[in-house]
Chains A and B, each alone.
Chain A
């Protein structure tokens, strides 16, 4: 299958009025054939958990967007859809998939794609993202983001998968850089180059998980600044921040685990500031999936991201300047 290049619109200031945002989505598909559904606001956001539905709706904090895992909402009805619809009336929505297995060699699961189409039709999120990873094989789902070898053959396969997903969803998706713990001797392409190629060939955007960059660079003895510099930073449509936990490998070297169970580490905040110099201000999510704290704790982290974003917006530094 031939991959196609799609132009990615420059970041724009998102409308603050959600009704206006919805109306602005009614345009015709772009020349590349993929409808870009409007950006997430250049603001802080949080992962939305059922435990926080009511607190969030009652307190209506000043965050820019929320994100949910697609698979949790692939159910016919009930409170999840009820509250998500209400939350989406007040906040932009990012839907984040964890089950498409885009990085796998096997064909995508047609039934799962169909579930995804229905979910996005129902909630019309501003963004959909997935991972450079695999999670299913042979009809079995492992519920983890598993690593892939970075070879020419796999690059071709991943591009086919991204093309297929974008065509089925009729929208540009963002692909997230993984947190990994091992490498493959068969890999012949650096991860940053692999991601850059997928983005260039398919027109997808990058969900830059800064915590994953930090974790992977420690785990593989890489320089995190060099890693980020090697990515197409102008194609970053969203940033993720999360907490990691610490372990050791067999040689006693630090092995960081992308656990999403604690506050964002200071080193990751610093890497985030460095990242913003290259990407410009981009919608930034605080991810927390384990040890869920009360809503105000997450909001404080989102506010911290927001403060750094505003500093970046105030600096008004053109994105291209730092890329050259």
Chain B
């Protein structure tokens, strides 16, 4: 059986790698070398997928410049083409790839910047849900004997970022929200990425509130989450943290 009847395998090899010969069995009406024509497909694949990454990771792109970004994205594509056609979710492991990408090692905050941008996309497309009402939380707080076993679920759009670097400020500076010169990238920062309605919000959190929120997100009951947080942050103020989470509409539901 001629390979050209089932060209997908040959295409797959040749599409991503311009050093590979074009598949056999291709022709042009005027007898010209099919390579120039096959290159249209090569270009479409590479350019469109790089553009998909650019639209998700625009701050990373600003930080490293277009040329570096495209070279990095191309390396990523060689290793990990999308595994399905829903490109909104393409690039989920790009932050991990960046963390391992040697040429970017001089920018240690780059991977977490990518992670923040990825979380914004996740939050944007996450399931919609009505946030927990303040009254429901107040009712729960009025039953102190049941509080230790209370489970507080976060909104489906909630994504928590805890970084050793100031990626929240870096991101904000690239949105024109603060001058880049004021950002010291080597400072740890934490944020909750959230979309309670139509707009994605990036909410800076103090380290204790971030740890507490992380414990809730992992399904820990209130007593355990509080214990976890207090063990490394004795100054933690539970009521202030809950007030922040409820007013920012970050909570979804309560269970015992």
A residues apposed to B, CB below 8 Å: 71-72, 74-82, 98-100, 104-106, 109, 111-112, 115, 134-144, 146, 148-149, 151, 153-154, 181-186, 219-222, 247-251, 253, 255, 257
Instruction: Tell me if A79 and B2 are in contact (CB < 8 A).
Output: no
Q: Does B106 contact A (CB under 8 A)?
A: no
Give the Cβ gap from A49 to chain B, nearest Cβ, in Å.
Answer: 12
> Given A78-B198, A146-B8, A249-B37, list of 11 further CB < 8 A pairs?
A75-B88, A78-B195, A105-B6, A143-B44, A143-B49, A144-B44, A149-B25, A151-B5, A182-B27, A184-B26, A250-B35
A-B contacts, CB under 8 A, total? 157
For B41, the chain A residues whose CB sits under 8 A away are 144, 146, 181-182
Instruction: Tell me if B124 and A141 are in contact (CB < 8 A).
Output: no
For A100, the chain B residues whose CB sits under 8 A away are 85
- Of the listed stretches B76-84, B141-149, B172-180, B216-224, chain A binds B76-84
Q: Does B12 contact A (CB under 8 A)?
A: yes
For B45, the chain A residues whose CB sits under 8 A away are 142-144
Instruction: Tell me if B8 and A137 are in contact (CB < 8 A).
Output: yes
For A142, the chain B residues whose CB sits under 8 A away are 12, 15, 45, 81
Instruction: Tell me if A185 and B4 are in contact (CB < 8 A).
Output: yes
Instruction: Tell me if A109 and B12 are in contact (CB < 8 A).
Output: no
Checking A144, A151, A181 against B48 with a beta-carbon cut-off of 8 angstroms, the contacting residue is A144
For B6, the chain A residues whose CB sits under 8 A away are 105
For A80, the chain B residues whose CB sits under 8 A away are 125
Which of chain B's residues 10-38 have a Cβ closer than 8 Å to chain A?
A: 11-12, 15, 25-38
Instruction: Tell me if B81 and A251 are in contact (CB < 8 A).
Output: no
Give the Cβ gap from A117 to chain B, nearest Cβ, in Å.
Answer: 14
Q: Does B108 contact A (CB under 8 A)?
A: no
B residues apposed to A, CB below 8 Å: 2, 4-9, 11-12, 15, 25-38, 40-41, 44-45, 48-49, 52, 81-89, 124-128, 156-157, 195, 198
Give the Cβ gap from B40 to chain A, nearest Cβ, in Å.
Answer: 4
Instruction: Tell me if B127 and A76 are in contact (CB < 8 A).
Output: yes
Instruction: Tell me if A184 and B7 are in contact (CB < 8 A).
Output: yes
Instruction: Tell me if B30 and A253 are in contact (CB < 8 A).
Output: yes
- 26 A–B pairs (Cβ distance < 8 Å), ordered by A: A71-B86, A71-B87, A72-B88, A76-B126, A76-B156, A79-B124, A79-B198, A109-B84, A134-B8, A143-B45, A143-B49, A143-B85, A181-B41, A182-B37, A183-B29, A184-B4, A221-B29, A249-B36, A250-B32, A250-B34, A250-B35, A250-B36, A251-B31, A253-B32, A255-B40, A257-B40
For B7, the chain A residues whose CB sits under 8 A away are 148-149, 184
For A82, the chain B residues whose CB sits under 8 A away are 128, 198
For A112, the chain B residues whose CB sits under 8 A away are 84-85
Q: How far is the CA of A55 from the CA of B4 in the complex (A)?
A: 48
Q: How far is the CA of A149 from the CA of B27 in the complex (A)?
A: 11
Checking B40, B87, B156 against A181 with a beta-carbon cut-off of 8 angstroms, the contacting residue is B40
Closest to A183 in B: B27
Instruction: Tell me if A141 and B48 are in contact (CB < 8 A).
Output: no
Give the Cβ gap from B197 to chain A, nearest Cβ, in Å.
Answer: 9
Q: How far is the CA of A278 from the CA of B26 in the complex (A)?
A: 33
Q: How far is the CA of A146 from the CA of B37 in the complex (A)?
A: 12
For B27, the chain A residues whose CB sits under 8 A away are 182-185
Instruction: Tell me if B4 and A75 are in contact (CB < 8 A).
Output: no
Q: How far is the CA of A158 from the CA of B4 in the complex (A)?
A: 17
Instruction: Tell me if A183 and B26 are in contact (CB < 8 A).
Output: yes
Closest to B128 in A: A77
Q: How far is the CA of A222 from the CA of B28 in the complex (A)?
A: 12
Q: How far is the CA of A204 from the CA of B6 in the complex (A)?
A: 24
For A81, the chain B residues whose CB sits under 8 A away are 128
Q: How far is the CA of A154 from the CA of B4 in the complex (A)?
A: 12
Instruction: Tell me if B85 and A182 are in contact (CB < 8 A).
Output: no
Q: How far is the CA of A142 from the CA of B83 in the complex (A)?
A: 9
Instruction: Tell me if A78 and B12 are in contact (CB < 8 A).
Output: no
Q: How far is the CA of A311 from the CA of B27 in the complex (A)?
A: 41
Q: How far is the CA of A135 from the CA of B41 in the complex (A)?
A: 11
Instruction: Tell me if B28 and A182 are in contact (CB < 8 A).
Output: yes
For B26, the chain A residues whose CB sits under 8 A away are 182-185
Closest to A145 in B: B44
Give the Cβ gap from A51 to chain B, nearest Cβ, in Å.
Answer: 12
